[in-house]
Chains A and B, each alone.
Chain A
Amino acid sequence: DIVMTQSPDSLAVSLGERATINCKSSQSLLYSSNNKNYLTWYQQKPGQPPKLLIYWASTRDFGVPDRFSASGSGTDFTLTISSLQAEDVAVYYCQQHYSIPPTFGGGTKVEI
């Protein structure tokens, strides 16, 4: 199974400041035939299911604010919240779907 490692486990960011979350996979998530990275980011708030934020490593899902951006390729990926808002307090997970079983990172808790 592909192991997904997120860092840090938690971070505290002031309102309006930048938050950066890292995700590393144990093998490349780049599929050469279509040049896509099979990496997804989710946001989960307490008592709620995960919400899809980013797919194909850098494509924001419908309605996701543009303060959320993501980048990376191969084995190293980053999610950035450019200007943290109160409603962004949550746990963020990366997930690979390059191979079965799909696996998730351990999560990064973002606090103010």
Chain B
Amino acid sequence: QVQLVQSGAEVKKPGASVKVSCKASGYTFTDYYLHWVRQAPGQGLEWMGWLNPNSGATNLAQSFRGRVTLTRDTSITTAYMELSGLTSDDTALYFCARDTSGYEYYFRNWGQGTLVTVSS
């Protein structure tokens, strides 16, 4: 079955960077876009961007351009989301989610989430 397993919680200081991993299994890694969605405490869901694991191409939401880098290592079927210039506003639960059908932009399979806390 499709599984997305994310790395553990992180605590970072303002101005630092964080890199979250998402290990995929149960399907052909390069066949489906992987998206990143974040959720601030007690808040709603915000789409951050997608990664095409086949080509490495990415597309980011405007608000994250210049601060987010999406990469992958196909040899270990793992995707990464790196967020730089952290502020307290970046404290959130970060999810990876597999596109349902190629690149339809809705999501049946989600990682368990990685809590990133930004605190001095």
Contacts and interface: CB of A to CB of B under 8 A. Distances in A.
B100 A55 contact: yes
Contacts, number: 44
Classify the interface of chain A: helix, strand, loop or mixed.
Answer: loop
Given A49-B113, A52-B108, A95-B106, A101 B61 contact: yes
Contacts of B113: 49
A100 B59 contact: yes
A93 B106 contact: no
A106 interface: yes
Nearest to A4: B44
Interface residues of A, number: 19
B95 interface: yes
Interface residues of B, number: 19
Contacts of A49: 95, 97, 110-113
A61 interface: yes
Contact of A93 (B44, B62, B97, B110): B44
A103 B47 contact: yes
Contacts of A104: 44-47
B45 A40 contact: no
B95 to A, nearest CB: 5
A14 to B, nearest CB: 25
A49 B46 CA distance: 13
A102 interface: yes
Contact of B104 (A93, A97, A103, A106): A97
Contacts of A48: 112
Nearest to B106: A40
B106 A97 contact: yes
17 contacts: A49-B97, A49-B111, A50-B95, A50-B107, A50-B110, A51-B110, A52-B107, A52-B108, A55-B106, A93-B44, A95-B106, A101-B61, A102-B105, A103-B47, A104-B44, A104-B46, A106-B44
Interface of A: 40, 48-52, 55, 61, 93, 95, 97, 100-107
